[in-house]
Structure 1
Amino acid sequence: MAAILYMATLFYPVVDQSYQRVIKAKKDSNELWYEKLNTKIVIEGTEMTGNELNITVYNNGSLALNSSKLDVIYGGTILPSPLQSFTVSKQGVWSPKSSINVTISNADINQRLKIITSNGIADYAIS
């Protein structure tokens, strides 16, 4: 009987710690899914001005996004690249139901463009 109690005292903390890790992972997963389900961006338009491409992007979701953490893929290359870079008109908090402008320098026409948020939600267009 003493051996069973001894084994139970060793086994319980291991099981409890494992269970707590599973609960935390499930919570983190639920938060990520909530963010993804409530995030939507739409590229409203593109306009070439000289060698700069101006892109208007609308936050159509219900969550505020961080415009400083956007990724841009242009012509198959993740920017900034050695020849091109991009700027965002409003750094920081990007409120729902509002637009920002992304400007790509040294742009070409008829290139594929993809804007990606920090949680992976994206929209694409052809410039």
Structure 2
Amino acid sequence: GGPGGAGGPSGATGANGGPGRSPSGVKTYPIKINVKNQPEGPRFEPKVKAILVPKEDSAIDLTKPIAYYPALDGDTGKPAENVMYAKGSDPDNWFSIDSNTAAIKLNKVPDRESPFLVNGTYIAEILSITNDIPTKTATG
């Protein structure tokens, strides 16, 4: 506040830069708020990733990744750093995920008759967990 009475964005201070009165007669006081940018947590893009598995069991190599699903940094849109990956949901234990690289490998040849298939699709969940305190988690 200062001379002239326009002490803040609301113009609520009096002519001497001190507290003023609003038209309703309620005392008002200027408040300064500093906003600290909080880094955004990781996110998965796309939110749901479809991974196709070969129909022929002989074409499935359990030693090689079938996909990579790295989280993205919420601020830069680039692959997230200082995160670890884990399984959130994998009801029939079909896959593993590398905690550092987000490489997804099958644990076994998928059971095409599994009761966990929904309309022919197996639904699982991956987590990305930041290493900072407090941790931030993204689900994909």
Q: Which has the higher helix share?
A: 1
Q: Which structure exhibits the higher relative contact order, with contacts defined as CA atoms closer than 8 Å and separated by 6 or more residues?
A: 1
| Same structural fold, with TM-score higher than 0.5 when normalized by the shorter chain | no
Larger radius of gyration: 2
Question: TM-score scaled by structure 2?
Answer: 0.38
